């Protein structure tokens, strides 16, 4: 293990869509979803829609079949495998749910590359209905993050703090983190990254817009990406940089990593290389 922990958001980061919307649309529940959306929190809404789909005769197999068709960029798959093979500890931190995430990762043979999946728990009840619960039980009380960008069921910043404490307690001392995400919920963890860490926001998505409002609030270097190719190149470049800076001997590298350019930094923000507008 290299001492590098890579934390991935899932929706619109590992896969290129929102898994909740993908299932809702794929199983014909879009009208119901849109009608209920103003009336309840998102996490509760997805659980409610799963109940209605079950009542309509949709099975777990039907849900999994739709999930297996969710688009994932081959470059993202390659990046996950390459980072793992370079010795990184890979984690998922997502506001989706365990059933959706595991179904997709299993389909692509990726589940074993991740040491941990942090997300909203799911279970199948006695009737065979998929139940989705909140990561944080907001009915019992708030999670206590006052930032204003975290949903009531999950503060990713708090979860990231726990991941860091757990990873460093497992041995090897200080870890360097690379965080990849796209949504508003990924802003809180970006503020908790240390100076030696890296934030990889998806350019043009909510977390990128929030970061751009005041980049000086982040201690970590910010390296944006816009598509799977950018993600792969940027992530492997940063992993390689950490390995060099930490004095670890690099294993044989894929030629794509060897040829990656150095990122220039200007005014505390790296100049995006090869990022499409």
At 143 the pLDDT is: 86
Q: Give per-residue pLDDT as tens, 212-257.
A: 999 999 999 999 999 999 999 999 999 999 999 987 644 544 444 4
| Mode of pairing for the β-strands spanning 122-124 and 130-132 | antiparallel
Q: Give per-residue pLDDT as tens, 176-217.
A: 999 999 999 999 999 999 999 999 999 999 999 999 999 999
DSSP 18: -
Q: Under a CB-based contact definition with an 8 Å cutoff, are residues 201 and 208 in contact?
A: yes
At 261 the pLDDT is: 39
* Other beta carbons within 10 Å of 210: 20
Q: Give per-residue pLDDT as tens, 261-275.
A: 334 343 345 443 333
DSSP string, 19-31: HHHHHHHHTT-HH
Q: Give per-residue pLDDT as tens, 51-72.
A: 999 999 999 999 999 999 999 9
Give dist(CA 23, CA 26) in Å, integer.
5
9 is catalytic: yes
User: pLDDT averaged over the chain?
Assistant: 89
Active-site entry in 11, 47, 89, 197: 11
89 is catalytic: no
At 137 the pLDDT is: 72
Whole-prediction pTM? 0.88
Give dist(CA 220, CA 200) in Å, integer.
10
């Amino acid at each position: 293990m290299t001492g590098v922990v890579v934390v991935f958001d899932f929706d619109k980061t590992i896969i290129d869509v929102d898994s909740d919307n993908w299932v809702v649309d794929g199983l014909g529940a879009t009208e119901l979803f849109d009608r209920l959306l103003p009336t309840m929190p998102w996490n509760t809404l997805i659980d409610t829609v799963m109940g209605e789909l079950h009542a309509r005769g949709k099975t777990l197999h039907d849900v999994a079949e739709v999930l297996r068709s969710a688009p994932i960029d081959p470059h993202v798959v390659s990046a996950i495998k390459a980072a793992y093979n370079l010795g990184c500890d890979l984690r998922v931190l997502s506001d989706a749910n365990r059933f959706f995430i595991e179904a997709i990762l299993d389909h692509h043979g990726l589940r074993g590359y991740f040491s941990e999946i942090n997300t909203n728990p799911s279970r199948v009840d006695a009737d065979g209905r998929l139940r989705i619960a909140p990561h944080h039980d907001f009915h019992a009380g708030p999670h206590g993050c006052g930032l204003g960008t975290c949903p009531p069921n999950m503060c990713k910043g708090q979860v990231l703090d726990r991941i860091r404490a757990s990873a460093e307690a497992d041995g090897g001392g200080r870890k360097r983190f690379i965080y990849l995400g796209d949504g508003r919920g990924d802003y809180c963890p970006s503020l908790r990254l240390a100076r030696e860490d890296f934030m990889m926001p998806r350019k043009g998505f909510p977390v990128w817009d929030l970061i751009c409002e005041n980049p000086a609030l982040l201690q970590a270097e910010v390296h944006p990406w816009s598509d799977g190719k950018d993600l792969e190149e940027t992530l492997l470049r940063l992993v390689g940089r950490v390995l060099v800076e930490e004095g670890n001997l690099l294993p044989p590298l894929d030629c794509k990593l060897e040829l990656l350019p150095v990122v220039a930094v200007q005014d505390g923000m790296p100049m995006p290389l090869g990022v499409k507008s």
